[in-house]
Copies of this chain bind each other. A is one copy, B any other.
């Protein structure tokens, strides 16, 4: 009985890592759909979101079963509650990838990203994807150092977003209101993906060290 319990606890970590891999694929493909641009890839991201939702449901079911039947205490209990909150973050990152894919789809067959923003958006997409990859390591290895690195990566995302706005609001901007609005929201989606990565990292740090996570916006 207790062995099955520990197996199930381990299985939740594995499932979280697997869910993070799905999210990483979603973020990567959404960015590819946007920057190539490629309508087929955009549609894939949108339709694959059900897999992320299914991964969430599976983890929730196991976690609630463990909570109800095994009455875990102390560290195990905190881990299960943290897992339930991490799936909220991960599911949201999946939803945000769908938003990115929909921005891509909106302007097909032309690209949604005006030329002056191509470099900055490409970098934002890369930082987001790297952060999600890092999240998987943070969860799998309970790696506090990797978690702290995510907070620093998030500063790079903020810097890129500021730069994005400078370009859109400069006198040289020739792409009009609609493209600027699209790109402002797109930048927000990438920023939020990064914020959720940081949120997961902070939950992990709290779990391992007892340091309280701080509010994120």
Q: Residues on A close to B: CB < 8 A? A: 49, 53, 56-57, 64, 67-68, 71, 73-74, 77-78, 81, 84-85, 88, 91, 95-96, 98-99, 165, 168-169, 173, 176-178, 180-181, 184-185, 188, 212, 215-217
Contact = CB atoms under 8 A, between A and B. Distances in A.
Most buried by B among A53, A57, A67, A95: A67
A57 B212 contact: yes
Chain A interface, DSSP helix/strand/loop, else mixed: helix
Contacts of A74: 68
Contact of A77 (B57, B68, B185, B217): B68
**Interface centre among A168, A178, A185, A215, by most B CB within 10 Å?**
A215
Contacts of A91: 215
Contact of A184 (B56, B73, B185): B185
A73 B81 contact: no
Given A88-B88, A181-B180, A215 B53 contact: yes
A57 B113 CA distance: 41
A168 B181 contact: yes
The 5 A-B residue pairs whose C-beta atoms are closest, nearest first, are: A95-B217, A181-B184, A177-B180, A71-B71, A53-B215
Contact of A67 (B77, B85, B178): B77
A217 B96 CA distance: 8
22 contacts: A49-B215, A56-B215, A67-B77, A67-B81, A68-B73, A68-B74, A68-B77, A71-B71, A84-B85, A88-B88, A95-B216, A95-B217, A96-B217, A165-B181, A168-B177, A168-B181, A169-B177, A169-B178, A169-B181, A180-B180, A181-B184, A184-B185
